[in-house]
Structure 1
Amino acid sequence: MKISDIVALGLWPDSKKTTSQKGISELEDLGYNLFYIGKNADLYTCPGEDAKVLLVRSDRCSVFDIPLNLLIDGKGVSQTAISNNGAEFAKEAGIRTAILSEKVDQSLAIAPRCQLMELCKPLEAQIDGEVVQFELIYRNYLTGSLFDACQNGNDPYGLNLPSDLPQWSKFETPIFTPTTKGIKDEPLNSEKVRIKFPEIVTSLEKLFKDFTAFAEARGIIVVDTKFEIFVNSKGEWVLGDEVLTPESSRFISKEDFDAANYISMDKQLLRDFGKANNWKEKSKDLKPGEKLEVNVPQTIKDKILSGYTTILNRLSK
């Protein structure tokens, strides 16, 4: 399938610019053709007529949606393995994902970074008179932007949470805080989205609860997670490629959490370093396609990779 076929099917947004660059030679030689370069991963068309693409994770990094000239060796392999584990957990729970069970030739050097993906389009629906795409977020603990909102007397999701709840309060049952998906994610009324997609919201709530228990038994606290929903060619809803991974969730090792050390095992160290070095302000001068030049200490890179490795080791069945 060619990129023109993907566009014709209405499965590729105009906002995402394709590339004519050549990709990895061992893939191109087999008929996989690079067509999109993302911040952290690349997409290839696949030989044949099936509606699927090949996702190849890199070691590139980004934070705050800022592309960086930063590589962390081994991150892409770990991320792919964690993503495969998350997808398998969802499938065992009876939930479809866009990640196909089919694999590329495992003798390829690039194989540990590869996932074959079903071509899907984002789930869309009308909420309050506007057609939006969704990020369905579940939270076990009060922290981050929701804690700030509660402190300021705001109720962005219509949950009627007490304003005096302390940070890191654990909810008796996970709460549902959906947002739009776009340049800026806007909070949505929880009950309105639940009424719009009752089966999806309930199924993912159970998946989140089950995964929380599974992870905690293996030494990882799941603070929250975000699910992105797509629709396949059969009209079925499916999860995307980041299912229960550090890219879509906040994980904290149980030993750190119990010691009130709430640093998540993902890119939080990099975000904190970026805030301290004013990356958001510096990135405003970037031209399209440019990366922000950053100098990150090796100690931070090592800690980030160690976090991914720990997650992979603890969550592998």
Structure 2
Amino acid sequence: MTTPLELSGWRHVYSGKVRDLYAPDAPTSTAMGGGPERMLVVASDRVSAFDHVLSPGIPDKGVLLTTLSLWWFDRLAGGDGGRGIPNHLVASHVLTLGADGEANTADDVLSLIPDAVTGRSMVVKSLDMQPIECVVRGYLTGSGWAEYRESGTVCGIALAPGLHNGDRLPEPIYTPAFKAPMGAHDENITYERSVELVGAERAAELRDLSLEIYARAARTAEEHGLILADTKFEFGIDGDGVLTLADEVLTSDSSRYWDAAAWASGTTPEERMASFDKQIVRDWLAANWDKQGTPPELPADVVERTADRYRELLGRLTSA
């Protein structure tokens, strides 16, 4: 994995597959648990699939995904007419899109972000992160389709017989996962297991809020000729005990987006599921790697086509 950047005013504390986390060099205040009040989340151009970081990265991926996350955080805070969903951005970290489509944020926040990571960073509040990854599926695809073919279920939830790859589910389903330690696989769990992990009240809050956000985002996607097939959310608890949306949200990395017209007219899974995410990478890797040892390098055309789909998704969603 690439060595994290050294950033003036910040010290590196953690790296995931595609994001790096920094704390202030000299925090002026602390959050609950004694940690810093603010953190810097930096989105890299790294791309992962099948629990491996691949090479090379996707050009401008960090900027594209950060811009899309900021756009969704703004809408979910009430910009779409719904109730405001609390998120992890510091209060002045407000997104505006300039005439050139570039993301702009308030000057006081921008001053905290080093030039080297401008455009692909978020200044966020420290949270007590929940150990559950909140997955919502509105369509049958991916690992859900593989399980359904074997057992007629998705994450243990029984579905009607006769469904096909890419079919819309009668109702979106909530399928939580337990967030594994770095280097291990996340584990799909039952809702009952999520209750054991975080308690009945918190588990219900995570489920209900995830389903609400998915429904709102799916309506927005539909208005732009897109289908939000599935997505995953992460939440934390702030210093006031409020459940708070965190990490990235509704991006090409955390979600499957399809072209609605292609889905309606397609006759094969490939035609139906014209993806605006890293499915191009997944498909190439599945066809060219046995999942043993180090993954092969991605060809230039796979990298270029993936970057183009990321850009197109951002353009389609944020257009008037």
Normalising by structure 2, report the TM-score.
0.77
Which residue among 44, 52, 75 is the counterpart of 1:89?
75
1:33 aligns with 2:7: no
Amino acid at match of 2:161: S
Report the counterpart of residue 55 of structure 2 in structure 1: 69
Amino acid at match of 1:48: P
Deviation for aligned residue 1:279: 6.1
User: What does the per-residue CA deviation read over 1:78-117, in whole Å, with 9 as the maximum and x for residues that have no partner?
Assistant: 1110111122222224111223343232793532111112
Distance 1:107 1:134, change over 3 A: closer
Q: Mind listing any 5+ residue stretches in structure 2 that lack a counterpart?
A: 30-36, 94-108
Distance 1:153 1:70, change over 3 A: same
Distance 1:110 1:193, change over 3 A: closer
Report the counterpart of residue 22 of structure 2 in structure 1: 44
Distance in 2 separating the partners of 1:192 and 1:35: 30
Identity of aligned residues (%): 29
Which residue among 298, 301, 315 is the counterpart of 2:300?
298
Runs of 4+ in 1 over 4 A off after TM superposition: 191-196
Distance 1:112 1:174, change over 3 A: same
Which aligned pairs between 1:94-243 and structure 2 lie closer than 5 A? 94-100=84-90, 101-102=92-93, 103-105=109-111, 108=115, 110-123=117-130, 133-153=131-151, 155=153, 157-182=155-180, 183-190=184-191, 193=194, 196=201, 197-243=203-249
Q: Mind listing any 5+ residue stretches in structure 1 that lack a counterpart?
A: 1-18, 124-132, 284-291
Deviation for aligned residue 1:209: 0.9
Deviation for aligned residue 1:180: 1.8
**Are the counterparts in 2 of residues 158 and 191 from structure 1 also a CA contact under 8 Å?**
no
Distance in 1 separating the partners of 2:191 and 2:284: 33
Report the counterpart of residue 272 of structure 1 in structure 2: 283
Distance in 2 separating the partners of 1:220 and 1:209: 13
Deviation for aligned residue 1:246: 1.4
Amino acid at match of 2:43: R
Normalising by structure 1, report the TM-score.
0.77
Deviation for aligned residue 1:22: 7.4
Distance in 1 separating the partners of 2:169 and 2:137: 8
Cα RMSD over matched residues? 2.6
**Are the counterparts in 2 of residues 22 and 33 from structure 1 also a CA contact under 8 Å?**
no
Distance in 2 separating the partners of 1:298 and 1:33: 33
Distance 1:143 1:37, change over 3 A: closer
